[in-house]
């Protein structure tokens, strides 16, 4: 059934019931001298390139490939439209390897037709902290689909990760592969219901009019929690402490240090927004919330070309109830003119989504580890990892 994935060190469907298999690495590392030194073979018309994501031109080429060929919903109405600034942020975290930003070009025309990336991350599974690669942005041009290019891309990124002496990876996909560690549900909170309905993102509920719908989703003009403000660079140590403590509760979660928090959570215009609650008396930082900006192209609509979506990222509540904190995040997103606020049912999100008028979407996100077995599958609430 899965001619490629059956050959890979991942949990196999046939082993799902087998409680004798141990948790942990599926195969042992090999000596670096035994890692294949040359790239895998591509069909003759194509060549490998390493993408320099510091270069505006390369970044623009990658942007264009993804904007035209990356992930769509099941009815092909929307396609992710990651911005250039977002791609630079996502692909250049502390300690990143340029060699993990892999493109495939047509030899003659030099046109970029496929892409896959990894970035390094420390991820904890129960009480083991493991150096991993986070794999993302796997994309094959629409005209080159179903030619088994994806397995070659995956093997090549695996080889380049191995060359850095890293043997595990984490990734997500909208499709089911062998074998998810957990499956999360997408939830959506309308901020601009009229536009969402006009573009077919959502539908008018039964016995609802447009004006009742607009009223239902109305939010206050300003945030309600005293001391709620934008995160700043000086807040990095306090936010790292909050996050470290919070993420320790989950079975799978990243291990963030100050450098990671500086990169991943200090606000960047049109890329990532972070807020915190500073106690007005003690100036203690007690709560934190964040979301990233990922618009989608609206395919074939006369009136609108992009859907502005915010995606819930990391949230930590110690004093402000999570419900109120996330409500302030919704208000902040509305102030920034987002049309919709999306969230997965991981971490503690499941406890507040309904109350905040999120509704379940038609999409799911499956989480995977490469060369690491977890048994049995986790509940989404045991997962503390958000990939972009
Ligand atoms: S998830 C986002 C993926 N991208 C998209 O969905 C964009 C739109 N789609 C496309 O560009 C293509 O359809 C892709 C497949 C490129 C997805 N993850 O070449 P093919 C398997 C893994 O003929 P195509 C993300 O970025 C499929 O089951 N495998 O197919 C995370 C089949 O294998 P098997 C996938 O449609 C990526 C084989 O590929 C995926 O032309 C994590 C068919 O190949 C998928 N999303 O191209 C990658 N979709 O026969 C894994 C299909 O066995 C990383 N397939 O069923 C693993 C860790 C590596 C590092 C390890 C380090 C230690
Ligand atoms: O955005 C998604 N679905 C939307 C649009 C559906 C359009 C028709 N298919 C959706 N809308 C309903 C919203 C409604 C608002 C009011 C309350 C009730 C709900 O459901 C879905 C997620 O639900 N997105 C996708 O399908 C995109 C792909 C998701 C997989 C991503 C894989 C990424 C891999 C990255 O590494």
- Complex ipTM value: 0.99
Q: Is 167 in the pocket of ligand 1 (CB under 6 A)?
A: yes
Ligand 2 center from residue 349 Cα (angstroms): 17
Ligand 1 center from residue 13 Cα (angstroms): 17
Q: Is 35 in the pocket of ligand 1 (CB under 6 A)?
A: no
Angle at 120 between CA 275 and CA 377, to 5 degrees: 80
Q: What whole-number distance in Å separates Cα of residue 119 and Cα of residue 313?
A: 18
Please tell me the predicted confidence (pLDDT) of residue 15.
94
Q: Is 372 in the pocket of ligand 1 (CB under 6 A)?
A: no
Convert the pLDDT of each residue in 53-98 to its tens digit: 999 999 999 999 999 999 999 999 999 999 999 999 999 999 999 9
Please tell me the predicted confidence (pLDDT) of residue 79.
98
Q: Which atom of ligand 1 is nearest to the CA of 138?
A: 26
309-312 and 340-344: which strand pairing? Answer: parallel
Q: Is 297 in the pocket of ligand 2 (CB under 6 A)?
A: no
Average per-residue pLDDT in the chain?
98
Query: Both ends of the chain: CA-CA distance in Å?
Result: 29
Average pLDDT (359-375) is 97
Convert the pLDDT of each residue in 10-51 to its tens digit: 999 999 989 899 999 999 999 999 999 999 999 999 999 999
Convert the pLDDT of each residue in 256-303 to its tens digit: 999 999 999 999 999 999 999 999 999 999 999 999 999 999 999 999
Q: Is 146 in the pocket of ligand 1 (CB under 6 A)?
A: yes
- DSSP string covering 328-365: HHHHHHHHTT-SEEEEES-TTGGGTTTTTT-EEEEEEE
Please tell me the predicted confidence (pLDDT) of residue 271.
99
385 is catalytic: no
Which residue of 66, 70, 71, 73 sits with most ligand 2 atoms within 8 Å of its CB, as the best mutation to test the pocket?
A: 73
Average pLDDT (118-142) is 99
Q: Whole-model pTM? A: 0.98
Q: What whole-number distance in Å separates Cα of residue 190 and Cα of residue 204?
A: 12
Distances (CA, A) of 200 to 161, 193, 333, 387: 41, 10, 21, 26
């Amino acid at each position: 059934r899965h001619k490629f994935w059956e050959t890979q060190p991942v949990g196999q469907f046939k082993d799902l019931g087998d409680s004798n298999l141990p948790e942990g690495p599926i195969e042992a590392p090999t000596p670096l001298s035994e890692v294949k030194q040359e790239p895998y073979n591509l069909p003759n018309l194509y060549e490998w390139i390493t993408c320099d994501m510091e270069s505006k031109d390369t970044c623009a080429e990658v942007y264009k490939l993804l904007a035209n060929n990356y992930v769509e919903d099941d009815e092909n109405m929307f396609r992710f439209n990651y911005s250039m600034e977002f791609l630079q942020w996502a692909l250049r975290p502390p300690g990143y390897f340029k060699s993990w930003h892999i493109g495939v070009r047509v030899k003659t025309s030099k046109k970029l037709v496929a892409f896959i990336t990894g970035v390094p991350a420390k991820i904890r599974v129960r009480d083991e902290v493991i150096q991993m690669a986070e794999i993302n942005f796997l994309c094959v041009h629409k005209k080159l689909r179903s030619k088994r290019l994806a397995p070659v891309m995956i093997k090549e990124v695996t080889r380049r990760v191995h060359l850095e002496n890293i043997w595990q990876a984490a990734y997500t996909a909208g499709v089911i592969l062998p074998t998810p560690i957990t499956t999360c549900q997408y939830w959506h909170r309308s901020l601009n219901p009229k536009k969402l309905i006009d573009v077919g993102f959502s539908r008018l509920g039964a016995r609802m009019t447009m004006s009742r719908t607009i009223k239902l989703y109305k939010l206050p003009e300003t945030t309600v929690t005293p001391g709620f403000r934008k995160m700043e660079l000086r807040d990095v140590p306090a936010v790292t402490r909050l996050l470290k403590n919070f993420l320790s509760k989950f079975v799978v979660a990243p291990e963030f240090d100050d450098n990671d928090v500086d990169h991943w959570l200090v606000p960047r215009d049109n890329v990532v927004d972070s807020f915190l609650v500073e106690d007005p008396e003690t100036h203690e930082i007690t709560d934190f919330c964040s979301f990233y900006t990922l618009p989608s192209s609206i395919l074939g609509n006369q009136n609108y070309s992009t859907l502005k979506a915010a995606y819930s990222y990391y949230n930590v509540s110690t004093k402000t109830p999570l419900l109120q904190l996330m409500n302030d995040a919704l208000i902040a997103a509305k102030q920034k003119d987002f049309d919709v606020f999306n969230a997965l049912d991981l971490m503690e999100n499941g406890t507040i989504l309904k109350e905040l008028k999120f509704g379940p979407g038609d999409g799911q996100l499956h989480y995977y580890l490469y060369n690491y077995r977890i048994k049995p599958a986790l509940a989404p609430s045991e997962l503390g990892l958000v990939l972009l």
